[in-house]
Structure 1
Amino acid sequence: MNLAVVGGSAWFAGALSALLDGDETLRPVEIAEDPGGFARRGGAEPQIAILAAGMGREALLGTIRDWRRRYPALRTVIRLRRLRPELVRDAMQAGAWGCFAEDDAPEVVLATLRAVSAGRVSFPFVDFSSLRDDPFERLTRREREVLAALSRGWTNAQISARLGISENTVKYHLKIVYDKLEVSTRSMAVAKYLNYAID
């Protein structure tokens, strides 16, 4: 099967090419610096794409969903900096076929790609029960929107205008967010959110 690598470092792409050298089932045919530059060209269309770009959580999941719509036959595998349970779960739900971590051994990467090429999903074991203790899992959709807006440096008035809610409602949501995240300031909430939102 033809394989594309999207994002990541030149070192990773080179190491992957070396790993697959001589492999009769997996052939690297395309490298793109970012998802926007990913294009399927000529007669060597990739059947598997490794999404290795370091990007925020929402951008990563959005890319998986977008590729699933645009290229329904494409099997997306993601390369994560770390195997965070909520990100593995959400990648599965978005339509990824598999994932591995940056520090996984070459044998693990190869086994993942071979499984996907054979038509099987391949995800590592993660303890999903730990999600019960994740404060971000307890945030409502609106609370997540307010927190994301806060992380962009918006004032309460700007959040109010962008989300179409009153400033008092913004303050109410922020109080709930602070309580759930166990923080007391905007900067502490933003710091926690950015650590969570970036893969």
Structure 2
Amino acid sequence: MKKVALLILDGWGHGDKTKSNAIRNARTPFIDSLYKNYPNSELLTDGEHVGLPAGQMGNSEVGHLNIGAGRVVYQDLVKINNAIKNDTFKNNKELNKAFSYAKKNNKPVHLIGLLSDGGVHSHDSHLVHLCELADKAGVNNLYIHAFTDGRDCDPKSGIKFIKKLEKQTTKLSAELISVIGRYYAMDRDQRWERIKLAYDLLVHSKGEKIKI
């Protein structure tokens, strides 16, 4: 039996032959020999081809999931979008349970997560919908703790999403009370010196206080 190895080169793909295409302009004799001597084909790695919304840019995480499964794996982004579109998201039992408890006991609800439209780990439209549901449920104290994005979006796009969120939640009970970058809040390399800053902010309210 012949053995098969699955090797993934992140960032490698087929594109136009412009000067900005590093792969096209590089000397790649080994890869060139593979194309020349062995059967090959191309995969589409964006949008509906990998379980994302049409026009949504793919990424390594989504690509790995689809290649590993050998089929289209519908991402959480699409599932949540469809639930909102079909008006079934409001029927989520755990959300309704949390909102009901908060209203009955006059408790605050904290929404913590990535604020961007990157679509990999979150989407800002989902946050706004959550705020609307909480408001309709009668939650009086709704607090947002935003992690700004600099990986799946432009590194300087944070202020744009903050302004957008504030505009969309003006008439709701939601309030943005803390902001920190994903570099600290979503570190996955076990670097406690980063995570501690996010932990202290969320748990002990330690951070630089500003007024807008």
- TM surpasses 0.5: no
Structure 1 or 2, whichever has the larger Rg, is 2
Higher-RCO chain (CA-CA 8 Å, sequence separation at least 6): 1
TM-score scaled by structure 1?
0.30
TM-score scaled by structure 2?
0.28
Q: Which has the higher helix share?
A: 1
